Amino acid sequence: MDRHSTLLLKTLARWGGVGLALIVLAAAVEPKPRAQRSTPVAILVNPATRVSNLSLAELREIMLGNRQFWPDHQPIVLLLRAPVAPERTAVLHIIYQMSEAEFRQYWIAKIFRDETATAPKVVYSASMASELVVAIPGSIAFLEADEVQPGPKVLTIDGKKPGEKGYPLQ
Amino acid sequence: MTIQRKLSLAFAVILLLFGVNLAIYFWGSAERTRAVSTLSRALTRDSLIANMDQKLDDLHKQITVLSGISAGAGAAASSPQELRQFTAQLNRIAGNIGQLDALAGDAAERTEVDDFAATFAQLSRSWTRYYQDFGVQPDVAVMELALHAEPLSSELFQRRLPALQRGEEARVRQAKANFARASSITDRVSVGIFILTLLAGVTIALRMWRDVAAAIDDLTRGASAWGRGMLDHRLPERQDEFGQIGASFNEMAASLTAARESVRQHALQLESSNRQLAETNQQIEKQKQVSESLLLNILPAAIAEELQAQGKVSPRYFEDVTILFTDFVGFTQASESLPVEELIRRLHHCFTRFDQIAGACGLEKLKTIGDAYMCAGGIPTKNSSHPVDAVLAAFAMVEALEQPARPGTAPDASGEGGPAGAAPAAGPVPARPREADGATPWPVRIGIHTGPVAAGVVGIHKFAFDVWGDTVNFASRLESASEANGINVSASTYSRIKDFFACAPRGQVMTKENKAYAMYFVTGLRGDLQGAEAGETAAAFARRYQIYFAKQPPPLPSRLAAVR
C-alpha cells in the first residue's frame, strides 16, 4: 500500500492541485499508532551545530518547519525515521501532536503553499540516521536514546538530557 | 537686407526646423522601436523565466515531497520510465535556458543566464543522482539531496531566478522608460518646433507685411506726389527690392524734373523764337507786300501771280492785242536846254498821268524808253474792247498834256488835272512842265496798232513784262509816222474803232523801212455818237460800248464829250 501511494504521489505532485488527493490517500494509509514506550527519544544534531539545548517550544518550531535556520544561519535539515518506527511515532505524538495522516497533510500543504523549501528527510534505520546527522551539516534527527551511537551531538530539552526526570520526550 | 534674402533665410530656417523635426522623429521612432524590441525581448525572457520557475518549482516540490513525505520504509527505486520523464523535464528547462541565453542582449544578461545555467546544471545532476539513488541507496540519495540538491535549489530559487527576474524587470522598466523618454522627447521637440515654426512664420509674415506695406505706402505717396506734379518728391532709401524700385522711381522723377525744366527752357526759347519768327514773318510779310507791290508795278497781276506761283512765266501768244506808243515831240531839244532834274521831273509828271490813264482804260503799261511810253490792251487779260480803249487812252493822254493841272494834285476822272474817270494818283503829282518853266508843254505823237504779239517775262533780275512781234514794231512805226498830238492808227485798228471814232484816212504812208501802210488819224467821236451835251455824248458812247463789248466803258475824256 505504501508503494502505491508513493507512486500516486509522484504522479499527482506534477500538478498543482493534488494536495487534497494526497491528503485523502494519506488518510487511507494511516498506520496504527504503536503502544507508547518508556525509552526516551534523544535529539541528535550535527556535531558542528552550535546549539546544545532547545526548549520544547523551539524544538516544536523546528519540527513544524517554522524555523528553518540555526542561529548561525545554517539550514536545518530534518531527518525523520520512516513510518512505524517508534521514535517517529513518539515525535508525532509528543511534538507534532498529529497522526501520520495529519503529519503528511501538514507538510504537503506547507510545501505547496511555498512556506518551506525543504521537508523532513526519511531515514530508514538508526544507523543511517546517525551517519546522516554526522554527515549533513545542520541536520537534526531523533533516535531512541539507547540507539544513539558516538558522533552526533545530543541536545538537551529544556536543559534536560534524555533519561533525566522531566525530559519531555519520554 | 533684400526681400529675396529674407525669404531665403526664412525658408532656410523653416527647412532647418523641419529637418530637426524630421531627425527627432526618426530618432524617436528608432528609440521607440528599440524600446519595443527590448520590451518584447524582456517580456519573452520574463515569460521563459516564469515558465522555468514554474517547472523548477514543480520539480522541486516533486523532489521534496518524494524525499520526505511519501518515502516510506518500503520505497522502491525509480523506474527507467520515470527517470526518462524526469530527465525530459530537466531537458525542457535546459532548452528554455538556451532560449533565454539566445535572447540575452548584453554581456550582463548573458552572465546572469550563464550563472543560472551553471547552477541549474549542477542541480539537474544532483536531482538526477537523487532520482537514480532513490530507493537504491537511500542514505546516498538523502545526502545528495541534503548536501547538494537543496543548497543548489535554494541558490537557484533564492538567488539566480530572482536575479534573472530582477534583471528582466529592470530591463522592462528601462525599456518602458526609454520608450516613454523617446516619446516625451519627440513630443516635446515636435511641439517646440511647431511653436518655433509658428513664431518664425508669424515673425516673418509680420516683418514682410510691415516692410511691404511701408514700401507700398511710400510708393503710393510718391506716385500721388508725382501725379500732383511734385517731381521734387523722393522716395526714402531702402535696402531691399522696393529700394531698387524706389531708386528707379527717384531717377525717373529726376529725369522728369530735368525733362520738365528742359521743356520749360525750350518753351521759353520757342516762345522767344516764335516772337522772333512772328517779327520776322511780319517783316517778311511787309517785304512780301513790298515785293508784290513792286512786282505788280512792273508786271501785270496775272503774270505776277504766275511768276510767284511757278517762279517763271511761260511765253504766251496773243492773237489780238492793241499796242500804243507815245513819244514827245521836241523832247530832244528840251533835254539839251533843261536841267536833267527838270527834264526828269517833267517826264515823271507826264508818265505818271499816262500810267493813270492806262490803268483807267484797262491798258497794261509795258515800259518807257526814254521819252517814249508803251502800253497795250488785250493783255494779259483778253478782251475785245482794247482798240477802243487804246484810242480813248490816247485822247486822254493828249488831253492831259494840253489841260492845265493844279499843282500838287493828281488828275482825276472829273477832268480836273486828268482824264474823266481816271484813277487818282498814288502820290503827289509833280507840277506840270508848262508851269515849271512857263513853256508850252510837249506835244505827243501817238501810234496805235492792233495785231498779234508774243508776251512774256525774260531774265531772272529786274523782271519786265514785254511783248514782241511785228505788231510792236508797226505800232512804233505808226507813232513815228504820227504828228504832234495826233493819234495815228493802223488799218487793223481802224477797222476795230471806226464804229466809235471818226478817222481821217492818210492813205499809204511810207515807213522808215520804205514800206507803205494805210494809216488813219483819229479825229474824234463819230458824229452819230455826239450829243448836244457832253452827257448825251457820253451816254451814247456808253450804250454802244456796252452793246459791242458787254461792259461799262472807261471814262470818256472831256475833250471827246464836248465835241459837236
pLDDT in tens, A115-131: 887 888 888 888 888 98
Q: Could you say which of A16, A104, A135 has the minimum Cβ distance to residue B69?
A: A104
Helix axes B161-227, B107-133, angle to 10 degrees: 160
Task: Write the pLDDT tens digit of every residue in A76-109.
Answer: 999 988 888 888 888 898 888 999 889 988 998 9
Instruction: Please give, rounded to a whole number of angstroms, the shortest distance from the CA of A53 to a CA of chain B.
Output: 23
Q: How would residue B213 be classed by pLDDT, with cut points 50, 70 and 90?
A: confident
Q: Which residues of B392-443 form beta strands (DSSP E)?
A: none
By mean pLDDT, which of B327-331, B430-434, B510-514, B537-541 is the weakest? B430-434
Task: Write the pLDDT tens digit of every residue in B251-287.
Answer: 888 888 888 888 889 889 889 888 888 888 888 888 8
Number of H helices, E strands in chain B: 16, 8
Q: Which three cell numbers stand for residue B90?
A: 530537466
Instruction: Please give, rounded to a whole number of angstroms, the shortest distance from the CA of A164 to a CA of chain B.
Output: 31
First to last CA, chain A: 31
- Tell which wins on pLDDT, B252 or B441: B252
CB contact burial B413-424 (16+ within 10 A = b; e otherwise): bebebbbbbbbe
> Of A39-48, B82-91, B487-496, which has the strongest mean pLDDT?
B487-496
Rounded distance between C-alpha atoms, residue B440 and residue B37, angstroms: 161
By mean pLDDT, which of A152-166, B205-219, B430-444 is the weakest? B430-444
By mean pLDDT, which of B10-19, B121-130, B516-525 is the weakest? B10-19
Does B389 score more than 70 pLDDT? yes
Please give the single-letter amino acid code of residue B347: L
Q: Which three cell numbers stand for residue B43?
A: 517580456
* Rounded mean pLDDT, A38-63: 90
Q: Are B409 and B429 in contact (CB under 8 A)?
A: yes
* Rounded mean pLDDT, A56-68: 91
To test the contact with chain A by mutation, choose from B142, B153, B159 the residue with the greatest count of A C-beta atoms within 10 A, namely B142
Cβ contacts of residue B309 below 8 Å, gap of 6+?
none
Locate cell 496798232: which residue?
B449
Q: Are A84 and B71 in contact (CB under 8 A)?
A: no
**Coil, helix or strand at residue B521:** strand
Does B489 score more than 90 pLDDT? yes
Which residue, among B350, B380, B353, has the nearest Cα to B364 in the 3D structure? B380
Cβ contacts of residue B341 below 8 Å, gap of 6+?
none
Q: How would residue B69 be classed by pLDDT, with cut points 50, 70 and 90?
A: low
Work out whether strand B372-377 and strand A121-123 pair parallel, antiparallel, or are unpaired.
unpaired
Contacts B61 to A, Cβ<8 Å:
13, 111-112
Task: Answer whether A112 sits within 8 Å of B71, measured CB to CB.
Answer: no
By mean pLDDT, which of B165-174, B238-247, B437-446, B496-505 is the weakest? B437-446
By mean pLDDT, which of B73-77, B280-284, B303-307, B506-510 is the weakest? B73-77
Please give the single-letter amino acid code of residue B516: A
Which residue, among B472, B492, B246, has the nearest Cα to B374 in the 3D structure? B472
Q: Are B413 and B351 in contact (CB under 8 A)?
A: no
**Which pLDDT does position B199 carry in this prediction?**
87
**Which pLDDT does position B3 carry in this prediction?**
77
Contacts A136 to B, Cβ<8 Å:
142-143, 146-147
Which residue, among B274, B329, B336, has the nearest Cα to B482 in the 3D structure? B329
Does A32 score more than 80 pLDDT? no
CA angle B191, B194, B195 (to 5 degrees): 85
Task: Answer whether A112 sits within 8 Å of B61, measured CB to CB.
Answer: yes
Nearest residue of A to residue B67, measured between CA atoms = A121
Q: Could you say which of B66, B72, B154 has the minimum Cβ distance to residue A117?
A: B154
**Coil, helix or strand at residue B230:** coil
Number of H helices, E strands in chain A: 6, 6
Rounded distance between C-alpha atoms, residue B25 and residue A53, angstroms: 72
Rounded distance between C-alpha atoms, residue B58 and residue B339, angstroms: 184
Does A13 score more than 60 pLDDT? no
φ and ψ at residue A65, rounded to 5 degrees: 80, 5
* Rounded mean pLDDT, A155-162: 91
Note whether B76 contacts A: Cβ–Cβ < 8 A. yes
Task: Answer whether A128 sits within 8 Å of B157, measured CB to CB.
Answer: no
Rg (CA), chain B: 76
Locate cell 526828269: which residue?
B344
> CATH fold of B315-561, please?
Alpha-Beta Plaits (3.30.70)
3-state helix, strand, coil in chain A (%, to 5): 40, 15, 45
Q: Which three cell numbers stand for residue B189?
A: 521637440
Nearest residue of A to residue B73, measured between CA atoms = A82
Q: Which three cell numbers stand for residue A55?
A: 526548549
Superfamily of segment(s) B3-204: Lipoprotein, type 6 (1.20.120.240)
ipTM: 0.74
Q: Could you say which of A5, A119, A136 has the minimum Cβ distance to residue B143?
A: A136
Report chain A residues touching chain B, CB-CB < 8 A. 2-3, 5-6, 9-10, 13-14, 16, 22, 75, 77-80, 82-85, 104, 107-108, 111-112, 114, 117-124, 128, 131-132, 135-136, 139
Mean pLDDT of chain A: 79
Task: Answer whether B154 sits within 8 Å of A75, measured CB to CB.
Answer: yes
By mean pLDDT, which of A49-53, A119-123, B68-72, B518-522 is the weakest? B68-72
Locate cell 465835241: which residue?
B563
Contacts A107 to B, Cβ<8 Å:
68-69
**Coil, helix or strand at residue B294:** helix
Give contacts of B 140-179 with A, CB under 8 A: 142-143, 145-147, 150-151, 153-154, 157
Q: Tell me, what DSSP letter sits at residue B433?
A: H
To test the contact with chain A by mutation, choose from B70, B147, B148 the residue with the greatest count of A C-beta atoms within 10 A, namely B70
Q: How far is CA B393 from CA A145, B135, B389, B422, in A?
A: 211, 196, 6, 10
**Coil, helix or strand at residue B185:** helix
Instruction: Please give, rounded to a whole number of angstroms, the shortest distance from the CA of A166 to a CA of chain B.
Output: 31
Note whether B302 contacts A: Cβ–Cβ < 8 A. no
Q: Is A47 exposed, middle or buried (0-12, 13-18, 19+ CB in 10 A)?
A: exposed
Which residue, among B346, B356, B331, has the nearest Cα to B430 in the 3D structure? B346
CA angle B531, B534, B537 (to 5 degrees): 40
Rg (CA), chain A: 16
Task: Answer whether B61 sits within 8 Å of A13, measured CB to CB.
Answer: yes
Instruction: Please give, rounded to a whole number of angstroms, the shortest distance from the CA of A73 to a CA of chain B.
Output: 13
Q: How would residue B404 be classed by pLDDT, with cut points 50, 70 and 90?
A: low
By mean pLDDT, which of A151-160, B123-132, B231-240 is the weakest? B231-240
Instruction: State which H helix or E strand residue B132 sits in.
Output: helix B107-133
Helix axes B107-133, B80-102, angle to 10 degrees: 180
Rounded distance between C-alpha atoms, residue B186 and residue B133, angstroms: 62
Does B435 score more than 60 pLDDT? no
Q: How would residue B95 be classed by pLDDT, with cut points 50, 70 and 90?
A: very high
Percent of chain B whose predicted confidence (pLDDT) is above 70: 91
Rounded distance between C-alpha atoms, residue B35 and residue B378, angstroms: 136
Give contacts of B 493-552 with A, CB under 8 A: none
Percent of chain B whose predicted confidence (pLDDT) is above 90: 25
Name the maximum alpha-carbon separation found in chain A: 48
Contacts A131 to B, Cβ<8 Å:
139
Sign of CA dihedral B412, B415, B418, B420: positive
Task: Write the pLDDT tens digit of every residue in B38-68.
Answer: 788 888 888 888 888 888 888 888 888 887 7
**Which pLDDT does position B440 carry in this prediction?**
56
Rounded distance between C-alpha atoms, residue B487 and residue B491, angstroms: 13
Q: How would residue B463 be classed by pLDDT, with cut points 50, 70 and 90?
A: confident
Q: Are B445 and B326 in contact (CB under 8 A)?
A: yes
Please give the single-letter amino acid code of residue A18: V
Cβ contacts of residue B85 below 8 Å, gap of 6+?
none
Q: Are A22 and B94 in contact (CB under 8 A)?
A: no
Does B1 score more than 90 pLDDT? no
Cβ contacts of residue B543 below 8 Å, gap of 6+?
none
* Rounded mean pLDDT, B556-561: 83
Q: Are B145 and B130 in contact (CB under 8 A)?
A: yes
**Coil, helix or strand at residue B525:** strand
- Tell which wins on pLDDT, B6 or B443: B443
Note whether B358 contacts A: Cβ–Cβ < 8 A. no
First to last CA, chain B: 120
> CATH fold of A34-157, please?
D-Maltodextrin-Binding Protein; domain 2 (3.40.190)
Domain with CATH 3.40.190.10 in chain A: 34-157
**β-strand partners of B117:** none
Locate cell 540555526: which residue?
A70
Which residue, among B203, B209, B188, has the nearest Cα to B14 in the 3D structure? B203
* Rounded mean pLDDT, B430-454: 72
**Which pLDDT does position B408 carry in this prediction?**
40
Contacts B67 to A, Cβ<8 Å:
119, 121-122
Task: Answer whether A121 sits within 8 Å of B146, measured CB to CB.
Answer: yes
Task: Answer whether B147 sits within 8 Å of A136, measured CB to CB.
Answer: yes
φ and ψ at residue B516, rounded to 5 degrees: -105, 135
- Tell which wins on pLDDT, B548 or B203: B548
Task: Answer whether B73 sits within 8 Å of A131, measured CB to CB.
Answer: no
Task: Answer whether B65 sits within 8 Å of A111, measured CB to CB.
Answer: yes
Q: Is B45 exposed, middle or buried (0-12, 13-18, 19+ CB in 10 A)?
A: buried
Does A27 score more than 70 pLDDT? no
Does A22 score more than 50 pLDDT? no
Q: Which three cell numbers stand for residue A27?
A: 488518510
Domain locations along chain B: 3-204, 315-561
**Which pLDDT does position B171 carry in this prediction?**
80
Q: Tell me, what DSSP letter sits at residue B262?
A: H
Nearest residue of B to residue A126, measured between CA atoms = B139
By mean pLDDT, which of B73-82, B104-113, B411-420, B494-503 is the weakest? B411-420
pTM: 0.48
